[in-house]
Each structure stands twice: as C-alpha cells, then as structure tokens.
Amino acid sequence: MKTLPKKFFKRKSKPQDVAKNILITSCFTILATIVAFWFFYTVPEQSANIVLVYITTLVLVSRFTTGYIYGITFSLIGVICVNYLFTYPYFNLNFTLTGYPITFLFMLIISITISTMTSQIIEQNEIILEREKLLMEAEKEKMRANLLRSVSHDLRTPLTGIIGNTSTYIDNAETLSEHEKTDIVKQINDDSNWLLHMVENLLSVTRIEETSMKIATSMESVEEVIAEAIMRLRKRIPDVALNVQVPETFLMIPMDAMLIEQVIINLVENAVDHAKSTLPIDLTVIEHQDSVAFHVKDYGIGIAPERLSSIFDGSPYTPQTPSDIHKGMGIGLSICKTIITAHNGSITAANHENGCLFTFILPKEN
C-alpha cells in the first residue's frame, strides 16, 4: 500500500497560518449564510439552491485553506445550517430527515478531495521553488568558481609583467638607454591600467546582491547611458573608432546605469583588443516591442567556434600573440553575463562573415 511521505505528517501549521485559515473559514461561513438567507426569503420556491450555495462555499474554503480540518469543519457547519436554519421545523436540529446523512457524506467527500488537491499543489510548488533555489545556488557557485579562475589567470600575468619590468629597470638602470627605459615604463603603465580595469569589473559585481542576484534599477535613458560609456571608454582608449546608432525616439528602460555602462565598455574594449582590425566598431541599439537589443559588432578575426559556447563562463583566455598576454577575455565577459542576468536579460556571442557580434538584450519592464 502506498504511504504518504514522512514530511506530510511532520508538517506543522504556523500560528499565523492557523489564524488565517480560521478567519477565511469564518468569513466564507458568514458569506454563505447571508447568501442562503437571501435565497430563502426572495426565492423560497428554489430552496434547493441553498444547498448549492454551501457546496460552492465548501469548495472555496477547501481551496483557500491549508489542511483538511477546515473543509471538514465547514462540511459539518453547512449541514447544520441547512438543517437548523432553512428546514422546517426551523431553528430545530433534526438529522433523522431523509437525505441529510447523504448530503453530509457528499460534502465531506468534496471537502477531502479539494483539500487533498490543494495540499498536493502546495507541496509541488514548494518542491519547484526548492529546485529553483538549488539551481540558482549551483549557478552562483559555478559563476564564482569561474570568476576566481579567471581572476587568478588574468591578474597574475600583468602582475608578473610589472614585477619583471620593475626588476629589470632597477637592476639595469645605468646600462639601459632612454628609449628602453621609456618602453619599460610604458609596459608597466599598460599593465597597471589593465589591473585597474579588472578591479573596476570586480567592483561592479559587488553592486549585485549576493543572495538574490538582483539589483536596484531605475528608468534610465539609453542614449545617455551609451554616451557616458563612450566617454569613460575614450579615457582609456582615446583613439577608439566607433559607429553609434540609437533609435530616434527617446528610449528609457529599467537598469543600473553604471553596470550597463561597464558591460558596454567591456564589449567594445574586447573588440578593440582582440578583433585585430582597424575598421570602426559598430555599436547599435534596436528597440523591440518588449525589449531593447544592444549590438557590438567588429570586423576582425572573429572567435574560435569551439569557444563560443563557453565564452561567458569565465574560462581563461589563451592569447594568440605575446602582445595579448595580459588582455584576457574571460573575466570581463563573465562579469558581463552576471550583470545582464541580474537585469533579467540575455547575452550572446556569434561570428558573422567579417568578424564577431556580441548582443545583449534588456527587458523594457522588470
């Protein structure tokens, strides 16, 4: 014989739930009795509707309360009310009348059936919520592990370069030419700026609530956010070539402006560093019915097909040339995905015939 799970028997109602269920049962009982009296005095020849009123109310009580006791209690109350208030002789209980045991039995069956279905639905919802919570925790752990792996890879290399260059400068300061000294200082400056960029990325993630992966958004102008992102980007890459296209209509969507600016900066900077192209990068915004799409398109060498499926996972980037050794793609794109996911959006990467296209989509409403 099939038995109920142990947690079914261990489940206890909280005091506030008990009070809520009692209040719901009491309100429905009063409402049903008022409606029954209305039928009794206005349409006396249709007194059978009174029983239907209590049966309908029984379904509602069983649906909106938790547990069996409240539906069963209302079944008993309903039969007593029909017998005591609406059956001759009035205001006198007489359960010997034909049909009342059958009426009570059917109301009891309805109560138990609806209560059972409600309990099962509640338990299924709890299981679904628990699974979603576990999946979210697993995704967070995976993202955290990928970030740590990317940080260890992307930050160690420029630090090693800074230490090596400073040691070279200190040990050989008297023998180095001015050109060699300038070149060493320039390399140190480039690596330092890259480290600063990585720290800014990591600080961006701290703006996202760790427990819920949600952020506080406000209505922001898309055009102003893009303008601010480009202004910040030009401080790092003064000669960056961009073609920007935004809708002519004034467009506002819910977002954390600083985080979305960071996403745009990361995508454009990756295109500059890795496309190996002198052609301008296209930054295009397209408005859809329920969302807004941001496209960053370069005209370079594209991305290796085997990397497309895992490019946002934070996997360490293997440089194609020694000059790229400090320009890892992993941590920046992983943070982009974290930010866009927290906005309930999506981000993708794809190759086209002349390069690479990154697209992230933000919903118009939360």
Within-domain flag for 121: no
User: Measured between alpha carbons, how far is 221 from 214 in angstroms, rounded to an integer?
Assistant: 20
Longest Cα–Cα distance of the chain, Å, equals 120
Share of the chain above pLDDT 90, in %: 20
309-329 residue pLDDT tens: 888 876 555 544 444 444 444
Looking at residue 323, its pLDDT comes to 46
Within-domain flag for 289: yes
Same domain flag for 287 and 354: yes
Looking at residue 79, its pLDDT comes to 78
User: Measured between alpha carbons, how far is 215 from 218 in angstroms, rounded to an integer?
Assistant: 10
The CATH number covering residue 199 comes to 3.30.565.10
Mean pLDDT of successive 10-residue segments in the chain (366 residues)? 43 71 90 87 73 83 80 81 76 65 70 73 85 82 69 72 89 87 88 76 64 74 93 85 92 90 90 87 94 95 86 61 46 82 91 93 85
Same domain flag for 325 and 280: yes
Q: Count of domains in the chain?
A: 2
Give the residue from 204, 189, 230 showing the smallest Cα distance to 326: 189
Q: Are 193 and 158 in contact (CB under 8 A)?
A: no
Within-domain flag for 82: yes
Same domain flag for 163 and 220: yes
Same domain flag for 78 and 144: no
Same domain flag for 92 and 202: no
pTM for this prediction: 0.54
Within-domain flag for 123: no
Same domain flag for 293 and 245: yes
Residue with tokens 């008993």: 76
In terms of residue numbers, what domain contains 181?
133-363
Same domain flag for 78 and 195: no
Within-domain flag for 117: no
251-299 residue pLDDT tens: 999 998 888 988 998 899 889 888 888 899 999 999 999 999 999 999 9
Give the residue from 57, 32, 33, 36 showing the smallest Cα distance to 46: 36
User: Measured between alpha carbons, how far is 206 from 145 in angstroms, rounded to an integer?
Assistant: 16
Give the residue from 258, 266, 253 showing the smallest Cα distance to 222: 253
User: Measured between alpha carbons, how far is 29 from 339 in angstroms, rounded to an integer?
Assistant: 51
Within-domain flag for 295: yes
Looking at residue 65, its pLDDT comes to 82
Same domain flag for 137 and 93: no
17-39 residue pLDDT tens: 788 888 988 999 899 889 888 88
Same domain flag for 265 and 209: yes
